[in-house]
């Protein structure tokens, strides 16, 4: 699994430009699924038939990651940029970014008038080493992501884009581990989550599931002077209760907890004061869908170097497989 996670996290896939990630996943799930298709926005649907085809389950992990997009090339060939999703300015100066074709740029900073304030993106630029505007190899509208290698040490993994490639990896490994799910189960690898859960919005409309679970990362409160959050890494997968975008279906959440307890998988409960996931969109599609979230606790979310615990990831696969194997109870 580590090798797959390395490939997925190092792949290029800012929101709207998920093709390279989609290709990796499509190759991995080949032979594990009864049907594979994509849609207009770029979602990848992987159907695994269940014992009972009268019901449908949907599990989703998003392929896209945050990134930057070029807005202007100045006369000297420096590229101004905007954010794709929740990119924070603090980690940017000095970071390297990579474009779809492999071209690498360094993020530079203007001379600051006031060094006590965090500069916004309009004080920064991407330097791809161009000599001038005409020969600059990038153009307005080109998207880039952080350029960062995957690292693994003593059971902890560091990489960019665990949000949400780790969710993608959990879905793929669950597909491998799961003999036959209870229901026809759509493993949906969604597009454009980071810019407003857009892929999940249209995917859920199309699948019309009886219940849905998003698998995504959740930030933790286990680092120095962090925002107080109960969840931490190395303490098992988190079952979401609420975030800014949704309140998880009570019955579904209780069923997830019961399933974890019966399967002997450790878990944590998650209440998040900010952010949301694909489950927010899936919950309000059509006439409403019971939706929940299985979260992988992740440190330094939306930075170029996020961190997860290998055991949490393994247990997330076990929990998702246990959930999908049994009939849902929404009581």
Residues contributing to the site for other proteins (CB under 8 A): 15-17, 19, 22, 26, 37-43, 69-72, 74-75, 80, 82-84, 122, 139-141, 143, 192, 195, 198, 201-203, 205-206
In Å, what is the CA distance from 234 to each residue of 173, 187, 309, 311? Answer: 19, 26, 5, 7
In Å, what is the CA distance from 245 to each residue of 138, 273, 286, 299, 318? Answer: 36, 10, 17, 21, 26
Distance in Å, CB of 96 to other proteins, minimum: 20
Instruction: Give the Cα separation of 138 and 130 in Å (integer).
Output: 9
* Number of neighbours of residue 292 by Cβ within 10 angstroms: 27
Distance in Å, CB of 165 to other proteins, minimum: 19
208 is catalytic: no
Distance in Å, CB of 45 to other proteins, minimum: 10
| Token digits of residue 29 | 């799930």
Distance in Å, CB of 267 to other proteins, minimum: 33
For other proteins, the closer CB: 128 or 233: 128
| Token digits of residue 261 | 């307890």
Query: In terms of Cα–Cα distance, which of 162, 179, 197 is closest to 49?
Result: 179
Cis preceding linkage at 164, omega within 30: yes
Euclidean distance between the first and the last CA atom of the chain, given in angstroms as a whole number: 35
| Token digits of residue 42 | 């770029």
| Token digits of residue 287 | 């006439």
Distance in Å, CB of 110 to other proteins, minimum: 9
Q: Is residue 199 within 8 Å of residue 167, measured between CB atoms?
A: no
Which runs of E-coded beta strand occur in 191-256?
Answer: 211-219, 238-242
**Who contacts 31 (Cβ-Cβ below 8 Å, separation ≥6)?**
none
Looking at the chain, list the stretches that DSSP marks H as alpha helix, in order from N- to C-terminal side: 2-10, 19-29, 162-177, 198-207, 250-262, 278-283, 310-325
Report the number of secondary-structure helices (H) and strands (E) in the chain: 7, 17
- Catalytic residue among 10, 18, 193, 194, which? 193
Distance in Å, CB of 193 to other proteins, minimum: 12
Active site (catalytic) residues: 193
């Amino acid at each position: 699994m580590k090798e797959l996670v390395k490939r997925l996290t190092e792949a290029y896939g800012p929101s709207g430009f998920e093709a390279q990630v989609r290709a990796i996943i499509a190759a991995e799930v080949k032979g594990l699924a009864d049907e594979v298709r994509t849609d207009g926005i770029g979602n990848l649907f992987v159907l695994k038939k269940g014992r009972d085809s009268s019901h449908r389950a949907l599990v989703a992990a998003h392929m896209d990651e945050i990134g930057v997009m070029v807005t202007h090339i100045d006369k000297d060939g420096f590229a101004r940029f905007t954010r794709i999703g929740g990119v924070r300015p603090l980690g940017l100066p000095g970071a390297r970014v990579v474009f779809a074709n492999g071209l690498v740029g360094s993020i530079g900073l203007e001379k600051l008038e006031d060094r006590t304030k965090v500069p916004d993106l309009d004080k920064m630029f991407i330097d791809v080493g161009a000599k001038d505007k005409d020969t600059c190899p990038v153009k307005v509208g080109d998207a880039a992501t952080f350029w960062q290698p995957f690292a693994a040490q003593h059971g902890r993994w560091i990489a960019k884009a665990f949000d949400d490639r780790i969710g993608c990896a959990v879905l793929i490994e669950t597909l491998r581990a799961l003999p036959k799910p209870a229901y026809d189960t759509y493993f949906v690898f969604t597009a454009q989550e980071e810019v407003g859960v857009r892929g999940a919005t249209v995917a859920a409309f199309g699948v019309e599931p009886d219940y849905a679970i998003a698998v995504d990362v959740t930030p933790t409160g286990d680092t120095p002077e962090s925002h107080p959050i109960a969840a931490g890494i190395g303490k098992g997968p988190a079952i979401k209760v609420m975030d800014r975008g949704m309140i998880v279906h009570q019955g579904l959440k209780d069923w997830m907890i019961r399933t974890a307890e019966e399967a002997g998988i450790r878990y944590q409960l998650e209440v998040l004061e900010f952010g949301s996931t694909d489950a927010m969109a899936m919950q309000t599609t059509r006439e409403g869908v019971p939706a929940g979230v299985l979260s992988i606790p992740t440190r330094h979310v939306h930075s170029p170097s996020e961190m997860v615990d290998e055991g949490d990831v393994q247990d997330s696969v076990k929990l998702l497989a246990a959930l999908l194997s049994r009939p849902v109870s929404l009581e």
